[in-house]
Chains A and B, each alone.
Chain A
Amino acid sequence: MILIDNISKYFGNTVALENVSCEIRTSEITAVIGPSGGGKTTLLRCINGLELPDSGEISVDGIVLTKKTAGIIRKEVGMVFQQFNLFPHLSVLRNVTIAQQVVKRKKTIEAEETASSLLQKVGLEDKITCYHCQLSGGQQQRVAIARALALNPKIMLFDEPTSNLDPEMTKEVLNVIRNLAKEGMTMIIASHEMGFAQEVANKILFMDNGTIVEEGTPQEIFNSPKHDRTIRFLSKIIRC
């Protein structure tokens, strides 16, 4: 379970997050939607300790996030980035084994077994010897998902995982996420894929200007949004 208690984060004079509070329960799938620059990415980066909030508190499974505990929390929380961020100097297999070996001190054979089964799960078992440049965007993102899953995290964070992909590749990545959802993985997904958010999420957070404007079930948010800003945002999306 993740508890976010009144966090704020500023970059210089820019407000990235302001007094954000929410609770994410185990096995719950939360979709964070809203315009770019609304604070979705910063919220996810804070949960992972990549940014530390300037005020307020985040706790993951009872551990309060600080600079010191960030390392422990990151082993429980996997993250997938918009830019994929695969390690270009390592093969696909090594991308997935490296953290297991370095962080969890697993033996090579054991790490490679885990990696191959994960790569199979994302449909890339035939690409293990490739390098990132030989893969399409969708394949890269699926490797990135396998890489994050390799540490066997309890929670997965997806930061606009399909924003850099064409519709076809988007579908292959969303299918992988959909399968994770079926397995009961706790997930927070920042996304512009409204249809997908509506389909897999149990809860929707609508964020703008660094605050959570509205929060509710997909039915509530998509069918009867209450807040002006939400209505305006959703009407624009549905129209195009």
Chain B
Amino acid sequence: MEILVKELTVLVNIFCFLVPVIPVTLKIAVVSFILALILGLIVALMKVSHFGIFKLTARVYVDVIRGIPLLVQIFFIYFGLGKILNLEQLPASILAISICYSAYLGEIIRAGIEAIPKGQVDASRSLGMNTYQTMRYIVLPQAFRIVLPPISNEFIACLKDTSLVSIIGLRELTRAGREYYSQYFVDFETWFMVGLIYLAMTVALSKVSHFIETKYKIT
């Protein structure tokens, strides 16, 4: 009984130590992901455009970014580019994650756009809508509903991948866990609690995405 109480106290202590950095992790994930969505949409539109040069650029971009580990990209942006551009840890982290995820999201969004039947575009054009209007009002709203499940998957992956930026010294959840560990040397409890907090966040996120999916479903 005494052991259990002691153990619980340790866990509560760790939890209290970690709580203040949860917003940091969330901030990196959300900001990076929004930027990645914007970039990804641009990549997808370039891929489906009729201009060869856009297509080629987007393809090379996706191949290069997708082919390099995120950790290496973080190093490159923080230690490489960061020296030249004088980037702090937070902007460097957000930049690295958003670029990395834009490549994946670009491919997902492109697949969504291509899944829309050609007849929809025909109908829209026959009503006098131009390419932009057709995309904006007809194709993208339908594509959005198709890509929602894979995109929420990516967001969950993105949230977990924020742990990688702990390595350049940004004090987010994983980094704070390491700090606690090096102070009190309780390894099992620390990493158990860190894992639990990530798990709680991702479970909550999948609930939210499920809710959005049902709301926007085309029956």
Chain A residues in the interface with B (C-beta under 8 A): 45, 48-50, 70-71, 74-75, 77-79, 81, 83, 85-89, 98-99, 102-103, 131, 133, 144, 147-148, 150-151
Contacts and interface: CB of A to CB of B under 8 A. Distances in A.
A131 B219 contact: yes
B60 interface: no
B49 interface: no
18 contacts: A48-B126, A49-B125, A70-B125, A77-B126, A79-B123, A81-B123, A85-B117, A85-B119, A87-B142, A88-B218, A98-B127, A102-B129, A103-B127, A131-B219, A133-B219, A147-B123, A150-B127, A151-B127
Contacts of A77: 126
A99 B122 contact: no
A27 B101 CA distance: 56
Contacts of A103: 127-129, 133
B61 to A, nearest CB: 29
Interface of B: 117, 119-120, 122-130, 133, 137-138, 141-142, 145, 218-219
A103 B219 CA distance: 27
A102 B126 contact: no
Nearest to B133: A102
Nearest to B119: A85
Contact of A88 (B125, B129, B133, B142): B142
Given A48-B126, A89-B141, A98-B137, 15 more contacts: A74-B125, A74-B126, A83-B119, A85-B120, A85-B122, A88-B142, A88-B218, A89-B142, A98-B127, A99-B127, A102-B133, A144-B123, A147-B123, A151-B127, A151-B128
